[in-house]
Amino acid sequence: MSIFGRISNLFKSNVNALIDKAEDPEKMLEQLILDMQKQLREAKQQVASAIADEKRLRRDLEKEKSLSKEWERKAMLAVKAGKDDLAKQALHRKGQHEKTAIGYEKQWSAQKQAVDKLKGALTDLDLKIEDAKRRKNLLVARAKRAEAQQSIAETLDGLSTNSASETMARMEEKVEEREAEAEALSEMQYSGMSELDNQFAALEDVNTEDALAELKAKMGVSSSLDNDPIEDMDARELEKLEQELQVEVAAEVNA
C-alpha cells in the first residue's frame, strides 16, 4: 500500500471516530484539521526520503556512466600501446559499469516518477487542508445556529406544556387569594375606625349635653322647653349670637 493510501485509510478512520462522538462540532473539526496537518507533515517526511533516494540513484547512475567512459579511455590507451590483452580487460570493466548504469537508470527513472506523483499528492493534500479549514468555519457557524434554534424550540415547547399552564394557573389563584385577604383586612380596619369614630362622637355629644345642662343650671334656667331663656332675648342679641356661632363654624370648617 502506498504512503498516501495508508494516510487516506488512517484519515477516514479518524473522521469516522470523531463523527461518532460529535459532542462538540467545533472541537471535532479543529481536531480533524490538526490530524490532517499531522498526516501532511508525516507525508512530507516520506516524500523527502523518496526524493533523497531519487537523488542518490541519480548520483550512482552518473558515477557508473563516468566509470564506463573512464575504462573506455583506458582501453583506447592500451590499444595505442599495442597491449590488446590489457585493452580487453579495460573493455570488460567498461561493460560492467555500463550494465550497472543501465540498472541504476531504470531505478532512478521509476523513483523520479514516484517522486513527481508524491509531490503532486502533497500539493493536493495541502489544498484539501486549506479547503477543510474554510469549510470548518462554515460548519461551525451552521452548528451554532442549529444549536440556538434547538434551544429556543425546547424552551418554547417547555412553556407550552400543560405543567407550565397549570403552574401559571396556580400562581394566579394564589395572587387572587392574597388580594382578597388584603381587601378584607382593609375593610375590617376601615369598619373598626368608623365604629371608633362613632363612639367618640357619642361621647362628645354627651359632653355637650352635660355642658349645656351645667350652663343652664349656672344661669338658673330650667331645662324645660317652656322656659327657654333665648325666647326672652331681644332680637338684636339673638342675631348677634347667631353671627358669632356662624363665624366659629366657618373657622372650624376652614381649619
Overall number of domains in the chain: 2
List Cβ neighbours of 28 (8 Å cut-off, separation of 6 or more).
Answer: 18, 19, 21, 22
Mean confidence (pLDDT) of the chain:
77
**Distance between CA 51 and CA 87 in Å, rounded?**
39
Specify the pLDDT at position 87: 92
**Distance between CA 16 and CA 18 in Å, rounded?**
5
pLDDT band (50, 70, 90) for residue 12: low
* pLDDT digit string, tens, across residues 16-69: 555 555 567 778 888 888 888 888 888 889 899 999 999 999 999 999 999 999
Residues 65 and 121 reside in one and the same domain = yes
The three cell numbers locating residue 45: 517526511
Residues 185 and 209 reside in one and the same domain = yes
The three cell numbers locating residue 151: 434551544
Residues 106 and 221 reside in one and the same domain = no
* pLDDT digit string, tens, across residues 70-89: 999 999 999 999 999 999 99
Residues 183 and 229 reside in one and the same domain = yes
**Distance between CA 140 and CA 26 in Å, rounded?**
5
* pLDDT digit string, tens, across residues 168-205: 778 888 888 888 877 777 766 655 555 656 666 665 55
| Domain-terminating residue out of 160, 187, 203 | 160
The answer to whether the CB of 6 falls within 8 A of the CB of 38 is: no
Residue 22 zone, left/alpha/beta (φ > 0; ψ -120 to 50; rest):
left
Domain that residue 249 falls in: 167-254
Residues 119 and 203 reside in one and the same domain = no
Residues 42 and 135 reside in one and the same domain = yes
Residues 73 and 109 reside in one and the same domain = yes
pLDDT-above-70 percentage for the chain: 67
| Domain-terminating residue out of 137, 160, 183 | 160
Residues 177 and 128 reside in one and the same domain = no
Specify the pLDDT at position 23: 61
Residue 170's H or E segment, with its range, is helix 162-219
* pLDDT digit string, tens, across residues 95-139: 999 999 999 999 999 999 999 999 998 888 888 888 888 888 887
Specify the pLDDT at position 107: 94
Rg (the chain; Cα; Å)? 60
Residues 107 and 27 reside in one and the same domain = yes
Residues 143 and 173 reside in one and the same domain = no
Residues 95 and 221 reside in one and the same domain = no
| Domain-terminating residue out of 144, 160, 176 | 160
**Distance between CA 138 and CA 148 in Å, rounded?**
16
Place of cell 457557524: 141
**Distance between CA 96 and CA 7 in Å, rounded?**
41
AA identity, residue 141:
A
Residues 151 and 66 reside in one and the same domain = yes
Of 70, 98, 74, 96, residue with least CA distance to 85:
74
Is the pLDDT score of 225 beyond 50? no
